[in-house]
């Protein structure tokens, strides 16, 4: 059943412009900064066989694109009334959430796969050819997958809170942005003394940067899995509370004997 839901979600992306537009925009923005614009991110101008700039830009592109993808996850279902039909089907709330989450992560993967062309180009352009940090590159790609997955989980959670897609987008963008750079900004204020390092460790950026070094630390993996689990389970609580409210309304409308 969960595979059927997953396929439905993927097809809803691919049967509309949303999925294709997200992938194209991601590739175009990164491509322009890495190869065209004469800015500090340009690989050719910098003269280094490295994809580090891609992994600096991509999180900020995801920060806007993923909320745009996930804003309709539950908000659109609520607005159109199909959420009631889904919740009455023989599926659990968790299966429904995981299907939407898996579809969002798959779209993230679809957007990352074409960037391997950049990796091959940099590999060939190296002097000598192949002179690049492959361990750091693959670690950064894995970090991007985890980061994108975390943003998807956050976006789906926010979408379950409202039936307005614009509000869902703004809230998801704000919450994802704070999760990525907000804790680092708080730690940089140096207001909490010895606790600053702990506050920094609560943010996504610290763990993403750690994985980008090419050494996969289990603490970073556990952090991302925990963060994703928190928002998936929070979404489940929101959906269950909707059922409770519905049952309560039915009980209140029943005539008393």
pLDDT tops 50 at residue 8: yes
User: Is there a contact between 126 and 42 (Cβ–Cβ < 8 Å)?
Assistant: no
**pLDDT given for residue 251 in this prediction:** 58
Neighbours of 79 (CB within 10 A): 14
Say whether pLDDT at 153 is over 80: yes
Ramachandran angles phi, psi of 41, nearest 5°: -90, -10
Question: Using an 8 Å Cβ cutoff, are 211 and 143 in contact?
Answer: yes
Specify the higher pLDDT residue, 3 or 232: 232
* Whether residue 128 has a cis bond before it, omega within 30° of 0: yes
Name the residue with higher pLDDT: 138 or 244: 138
**DSSP per residue, 15-73:** TSHHHHHHHHHHHHHHHIIIIIS-STT-HHHHT----HHHHHHHHHHHHHHHHHHHTTT
- Average pLDDT score, the chain: 85
Q: Which residues fall within 8 angstroms of residue 199, CB to CB, at 6 or more apart? A: 183, 186, 187, 192
CA gap 157, 137 in Å, rounded: 30
**Residue pLDDT, tens place only, 69-82:** 888 888 777 776 66
Region of 254 on the Ramachandran plot (φ > 0 left; ψ -120 to 50 alpha; else beta):
beta
* pLDDT-derived band at 257, boundaries 50, 70, 90: very low
Nearest to 113 by CA among 201, 225, 202, 27: 27
Q: Are 130 and 123 in contact (CB under 8 A)?
A: yes
Bigger pLDDT: 16 or 151? Answer: 151
Considering only CA atoms, give the Rg of the chain.
Answer: 21
Q: Is 70:172 a contact under the CB 8 Å cutoff?
A: yes
Q: What percentage of the chain reaches a pLDDT higher than 90?
A: 38
Tens digits of residue pLDDT in 168-209: 999 999 999 999 999 888 888 877 778 888 889 899 999 999
- Please enumerate in sequence order all residues whose Cβ is within 8 A of that of 106, keeping only pairs 6 or more positions apart, or say none: 10
pTM above 0.85, yes or no: yes
Which of 63-77, 98-112, 126-140, 212-226 is predicted least confidently? 126-140
Q: Is the pLDDT of residue 62 over 90?
A: yes
For residues 98 and 91, which has the higher predicted lDDT (pLDDT)?
A: 98
Residue 81: phi and psi, rounded to 5, are: 90, 0
Q: How confident is the model at residue 129 (pLDDT cuts 50, 70, 90)?
A: confident
């Amino acid at each position: 059943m969960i595979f059927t839901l997953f396929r439905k979600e993927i097809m809803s992306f691919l049967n509309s412009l949303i999925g294709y537009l997200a992938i194209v925009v991601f590739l175009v923005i990164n491509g322009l900064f890495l190869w065209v614009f004469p800015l500090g991110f340009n690989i050719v101008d910098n003269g280094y066989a490295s994809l580090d700039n891609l992994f600096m830009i991509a999180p900020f592109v995801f920060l806007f694109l993923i909320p745009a993808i996930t804003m309709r996850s539950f908000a659109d279902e609520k607005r159109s009334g199909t959420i009631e039909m889904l919740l009455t089907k023989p599926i659990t709330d968790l299966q429904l959430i995981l299907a939407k989450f898996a579809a969002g992560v798959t779209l993230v993967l679809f957007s990352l796969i074409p960037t391997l062309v950049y990796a091959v180009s940099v590999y060939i352009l190296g002097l000598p050819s192949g002179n690049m940090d492959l361990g750091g590159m693959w670690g950064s790609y894995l970090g991007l997958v985890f980061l994108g997955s975390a943003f998807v989980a956050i976006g789906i959670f926010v979408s379950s809170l409202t039936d307005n897609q614009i509000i869902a987008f703004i809230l998801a963008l704000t919450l994802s942005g704070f999760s990525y750079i907000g804790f680092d900004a708080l730690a940089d204020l140096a207001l909490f003394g010895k606790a600053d390092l702990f506050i920094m460790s609560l943010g996504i950026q610290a763990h993403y940067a750690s994985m980008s070094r090419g050494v996969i630390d289990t603490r970073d993996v556990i952090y991302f899995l925990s963060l994703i689990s928190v928002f998936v389970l929070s979404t489940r609580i929101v959906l269950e509370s909707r059922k409770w409210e519905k049952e309560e309304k039915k009980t209140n409308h029943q005539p008393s004997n």
